[in-house]
Structure 1
Amino acid sequence: MKSGMVEKEGFAALVLRLRSEGISDLDLLTAVEQTPRSQFVPASLSDDAYSSRTVPIDCGAFMEGADLSVRLLHRLQVKPGHRVLEIGTGSGFTAAVMGRIAERVLTVERYRTLVVAAQARMEALGLRNVVVRQADGSNGMPGDGTFDRIFVTTAFVSLPRFYAEQLTHGGSMVAPLMTEGDTCMMTRLTKTGSRFEREDLFPVPFLPIIPQVASAL
């Protein structure tokens, strides 16, 4: 684990890069600061905790770079009182950050290895409003009510319209969609009635979603 000073220096450098992109949301940046990122990366890669580099984790998964993680959360616009669904827990970092802002976060992951590790991190950070569950999130979580925000980090090949029933009116979803070739575009989908208003954001390095659950690779 990094020392407190190194952690602070890494966070400060991240904030400078984010502000150069126009990201200065105080609630979001405070939540990131309160969630030591070095606790979510493999110990051997702790030097990359606050870098923009992709970090490999267990089960062949990866943790997006710090800059991209916060850029995506900035677009999601989680607010106090929100119920949030995350598909693709990974290390648990983004769920933990959202848990410091939202009322409740349900994050699901297909790999038990990642679920157990993420749950341990939430407990260590005292985040009791973040629920980590092993589940097949390819169809969302239709039995868990509706959500104000849905955050997905595995790509769909077409617009996932079944999520419309799982979003509150005016709620929004940030999810990657596979487009022409191998391009993956992050999109924001806002629910109006039973329809989505779609906004393409920027290309991202996410892989297509895989259905079913697994213990590990």
Structure 2
Amino acid sequence: MTTANSLEQARFNMIEQQIRPWEVLDGRVLELLGRVRREDFAPAAHRALAFTDMELPLTQPAVDGQCMLAPRVQARLVQDLALKPTDKVLEIGTGSGYTAALMASLAQRVLSLEIEPALASQARTRLMQAGVTNVEVRQADAAANGFAACRADGPYDAILLGGSLAEVPPALLGLLAPGGRLAAIVGDEPVMRATFITRAGEADYRSAQPWDTLAPRLRHFPEPSRFRF
């Protein structure tokens, strides 16, 4: 079996054995997973593991929280965000750039913020090499100063957070356009839930938590006090 055939078999197995069983059944997303080369976004040291059901560290040595999420988690988040071709998307936590590449094929454009300069630079290069032209990767601390780094570009039709947080800040919800959707992994270990919030009206936000997973924390998002009086 050639290397190319081995890669395609591994990609097929990833889709059929990991992603479909996780209720990722949208034909558009499945087609994308077969076309967007995940191995090209994986860090070189772990390229051979690009299709495995695990998080991949993006730095050597590994730094806590800087990882590529498992394929099934990335795919389900993108599917359940239900992107439309006219959508303007904000992603917080670019990581490898792979999730941004998936969303770029489904939406009009993506602004992706990455706190780590080296990861932002690498993601830009990977996206350019993959021919993705409608993603802007911006190196910034997204949560700083009331989301100042992305506020002026809003509102957004969709927001996706590439890591977990304790709770969704109201200032971030305020960046959603009417009808806009936000996808985040919310909670504390050992229980975190994929959380989807839709802005139904000016101050009307509707939330659903359809599945559980775990993901590393996004940096500098507020942690609520554990103390109660």
The verdict on a shared fold, with TM-score over 0.5 as the criterion, is: yes
- Residues of 1 paired with 2:173 and 2:43: CA distance? 36
- 1:192 — aligned with what? 200
Contact 1:51 1:67 in 2 (8 A): no
Query: Secondary structure of 2:219's partner?
Result: coil
Alignment of 1:49-88 (within 5 A): 49-58=50-59, 60=63, 61-88=66-93
Displaced runs of 4+ in structure 1, greater than 6 A? none
- Residues of 1 paired with 2:152 and 2:163: CA distance? 21
Query: Secondary structure of 2:106's partner?
Result: coil
- Residues of 2 paired with 1:124 and 1:101: CA distance? 19
Is the counterpart of residue 15 in structure 1 residue 20 in structure 2?
no
Alignment of 1:7-46 (within 5 A): 7-17=7-17, 18-46=19-47
- Greater RCO (Cα-Cα under 8 Å, separation 6 or more): 1
CA 1:104 to 1:200, structure 2 compared with 1: closer, same or farther past 3 Å? same
- Residues of 1 paired with 2:169 and 2:55: CA distance? 26
Kindly tell me the number of residue pairs found equivalent between the two proteins: 210
The residue identity in structure 2 corresponding to 1:185 is R
- Residues of 2 paired with 1:122 and 1:3: CA distance? 23
Contact 1:164 1:195 in 2 (8 A): no
Is the counterpart of residue 117 in structure 1 residue 117 in structure 2?
no
Contact 2:53 2:70 in 1 (8 A): yes
- 1:215 — aligned with what? none
Structure 2: which 5+ runs fail to align? 222-229
Query: Secondary structure of 1:154's partner?
Result: strand
TM-score (norm 1): 0.88
Tell me by how many angstroms 1:97 deviates. Answer: 0.9
Quote the RMSD (CA, aligned, Å).
Answer: 2.0
Tell me by how many angstroms 1:182 deviates. Answer: 5.0
- Residues of 2 paired with 1:22 and 1:208: CA distance? 24
CA 1:203 to 1:41, structure 2 compared with 1: closer, same or farther past 3 Å? same
CA 1:146 to 1:4, structure 2 compared with 1: closer, same or farther past 3 Å? farther
Give deviations 1:105-136, integer Å, cap 9, x for gaps: 11000000000000001111111101000011
Query: Secondary structure of 1:4's partner?
Result: helix
- Residues of 2 paired with 1:79 and 1:197: CA distance? 19
CA 1:207 to 1:46, structure 2 compared with 1: closer, same or farther past 3 Å? closer
CA 1:21 to 1:183, structure 2 compared with 1: closer, same or farther past 3 Å? closer
Give deviations 1:62-106, integer Å, cap 9, x for gaps: 111112211111111112111110000001100011111111011
Contact 2:93 2:218 in 1 (8 A): no
**Which is higher, the Rg of structure 1 or of structure 2?**
2
The residue identity in structure 1 corresponding to 2:199 is K
Query: Secondary structure of 1:24's partner?
Result: coil
TM-score (norm 2): 0.84
Tell me by how many angstroms 1:158 deviates. Answer: 2.4
Query: Secondary structure of 2:119's partner?
Result: helix
Contact 1:63 1:90 in 2 (8 A): yes
What is the percent sequence identity of the aligned residues? 27
1:165 to 174, 194, 198: 174
- Residues of 2 paired with 1:77 and 1:94: CA distance? 14
2:108 to 103, 112, 130: 103
The residue identity in structure 1 corresponding to 2:121 is V
Structure 1: which 5+ runs fail to align? 213-217
